[in-house]
Amino acid sequence: MLKQAIHNEPAPDFSYLNHIGEKQEFGELKNKWIILYFYPKDNTSGCTLEAVDFTCRVNQFIEQDAIILGVSPDSQKSHENFINKHSLGIELISDPNHSILEAYGCWGKKKLYGKEYFGVIRSTFIINPNRVIAAEWRNVKVKNHVQEVYNKLLELKTTENDPKRKD
């Protein structure tokens, strides 16, 4: 069992399959800021809007040495189709067993129309190059979220590079 993610603590490490089925190690993503976001399901309205918004800003994130990784329980094939259908420019991770979702506290009880069920808690994390969780959002509302994440990334990078900053 992975340790659950907590703000200002090391980000849980994990292995994953990307959307083309390649096995990767989260810990091998060095010297980059990572925008790790969790979403419920490919090709649903909110999830599509969020993925398209991240894609529209992907070059701005790259200019800030950041990469964007989206995680959902959908299959690798579903991710591949989702990327192709919407011309997405971000990497999607398949987590059908919920191990990454659970490690980051993004799999839990939800309620809809009075019924409880388990599902993805839409969340986003900014992880700094030292693999520490620098910012987090839980129960994300999609509208304007990508802009908020980008602004926070700029703020964190400014603070981290401030020579007057005391550690």
Evaluate whether 11 touches 33 at the Cβ level (below 8 Å).
Answer: no
Structure tokens of 120?
Answer: 């993805």
Q: What's this model's pTM, rounded to 2 decimal places?
A: 0.90
For residue 68, what pLDDT is reported?
97
Q: Mean pLDDT check: name the lowest of 46-55, 63-72, 109-118, 134-143.
A: 109-118
Domain total of the chain: 1
- Has residue 12 been placed in a domain? no
Helix (H, G, I), strand (E, B) or coil at 80: helix
> Does a structural domain hold residue 167?
no
Q: Is 76 contained in some domain?
A: yes
pLDDT of residue 2: 43
Question: Could you tell me if residue 59 is inside a domain?
Answer: yes
| Residue 47 is among the residues annotated as catalytic for this protein | yes
The answer as to whether 52 is a domain residue is: yes
Per the domain annotation, does 56 fall within a domain?
Answer: yes
Going from the C-alpha of 144 to that of each of 55, 112, 152, 164, the distances in angstroms are 14, 23, 13, 31
CATH number at residue 86: 3.40.30.10
Do the domain assignments include residue 35? yes
* Residue from 5, 35, 36, 47 carrying the catalytic annotation: 47
Q: In this predicted model, what pLDDT tens digit does every residue of 86-96 receive, in sequence order?
A: 999 999 999 99
pLDDT of 3 above 70: no
Task: Residue 140: give the domain boundaries.
Answer: 31-160
Domain-located, residue 9: no
